Structure formats: structure tokens, C-alpha cells
């Protein structure tokens, strides 16, 4: 994920394209494809989306065969949350941590909640570690002010 700058703006970071493996600048939005591969990915995604729209609960294999988009790429669309497996399907993808069935994404709600809780616990700050923001105004010295000559 791109880092936030001091004023809340996104700062770029270097990433590798999920499709071609080439390096590109990532600004904190998008699905992780370089400028060259983004239009290719968009076209493949729309083929898959249109096929699913017309054929309802087609399997990943059927969708791949009909659209020419690899099962690996369709799985990536599910992991990215761009596609969802219908509620009444008998086939799901698995949570990457516990292996539970999920309809989209990478983690089940329980594992995601546990990870968030662990992260909050790891980032718990003591009050003395949090500094106070300065108020706007004149500069002061530790022992008096400039006018006092101290």
C-alpha cells in the first residue's frame, strides 16, 4: 500500500505488476497493474463479468474456457473483491489463513477481525509516547523569552 505523506497525500512506492512482473509506480489506488497491463486487465475483467452476467452460476472452469481468461486471473479477481461467488453456489474460495469457505477476498471475517485486533494490540501506544502538537504563536525558549534577554 502506498504510504501517506505528512499532509495526508499519497506518496508513490515501487511495485511489481501482478500481470507482467514489471516495476511501476503505485500511488495507493488500483489493483496493482502497470500502465501497460491495466487496459488488458480491464478488458479481460469485462469479458468475465459479461459472461457471468449472461450465464449466472457458471463455474470458474467454464468461465475460463468461454472467455479465454485464465483461472488464475479469475481467482485474482475474486481475491481483489472485484467478483463474488453467488450465495447459492457449492464452490467457494478459501481463506488464506484458516481455509474457511469465502465468497470473495483473501480472509474470512473471523481471521480479518483477529488480525485487526492483533495489529491494534501491537500498535498500542503509551501516553508518554504521544507528543502534543504545538500551538501557533511566538517561539519560546526553555528559560524565559527573547525579550527578557534570558
Burial of 104 (0-12, 13-18, 19+ CB in 10 A): middle
Identify the helix (H) or strand (E) that includes residue 26.
Answer: strand 23-26
- Reading the block at residue 1, the C-alpha cell is 500500500
Side-chain half-sphere CA neighbours of 78 within 13 A:
24
Q: Are residues 43 and 85 in the same domain?
A: yes
d(CA 54, CA 3) in angstroms, rounded, equals 40
Domain housing 116: 34-128
Instruction: Measure the CA–CA gap between 146 and 150, rounded to whole angstroms.
Output: 7
Say whether pLDDT at 21 is over 70.
yes
Instruction: Quick: pLDDT tens for 25-34.
Output: 988 777 888 9
Residues 43 and 54 grouped into a single domain: yes
Are residues 50 and 122 located together in one domain of the fold?
Answer: yes
Same domain, 23 and 41: no
* Residue 133 belongs to some domain of the structure: no
- Domain count within the chain: 2
Summarised one tens digit per residue, pLDDT across range 50-95 is 998 898 778 889 999 999 999 999 999 999 889 988 887 888 899 9
Regarding whether 83 and 50 lie in a shared domain, the answer is: yes
* Same domain flag for 47 and 118: yes
**What integer pLDDT is reported at residue 72 of this predicted model?**
92
**Residue 28 included in any domain:** yes
- Do 24 and 41 share a structural domain? no
Please check whether residue 44 lies inside any domain of the structure. yes
**Pair 54, 85: CB distance under 8 Å:** no
* Whether residue 111 sits in one domain with residue 55: yes
Residues in the chain: 150
Identify whether 143 is part of a domain: no
Amino acid at each position: 500500500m502506498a504510504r501517506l505523506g505528512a499532509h495526508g497525500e499519497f506518496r508513490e512506492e515501487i511495485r511489481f505488476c501482478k500481470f507482467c512482473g514489471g516495476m511501476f509506480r503505485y500511488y495507493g489506488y488500483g489493483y496493482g497493474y502497470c500502465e501497460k497491463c491495466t487496459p488488458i486487465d480491464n478488458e479481460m475483467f469485462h469479458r468475465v463479468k459479461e459472461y457471468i452476467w449472461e450465464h449466472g452460476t457458471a463455474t470458474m472452469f467454464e468461465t475460463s474456457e468461454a472467455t479465454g481468461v485464465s483461472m488464475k486471473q479469475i481467482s485474482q479477481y475474486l481475491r481483489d473483491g472485484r467478483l463474488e461467488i453467488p450465495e447459492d453456489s457449492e464452490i467457494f474460495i478459501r481463506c488464506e489463513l484458516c481455509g474457511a469457505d469465502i465468497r470473495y477476498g483473501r480472509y474470512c471475517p473471523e481471521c480479518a477481525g483477529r488480525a485487526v485486533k492483533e495489529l491494534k494490540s501491537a500498535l498500542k501506544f503509551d501516553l508518554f509516547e504521544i507528543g502534543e502538537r504545538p500551538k501557533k504563536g511566538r517561539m519560546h525558549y526553555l528559560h524565559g523569552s527573547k525579550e527578557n534577554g534570558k
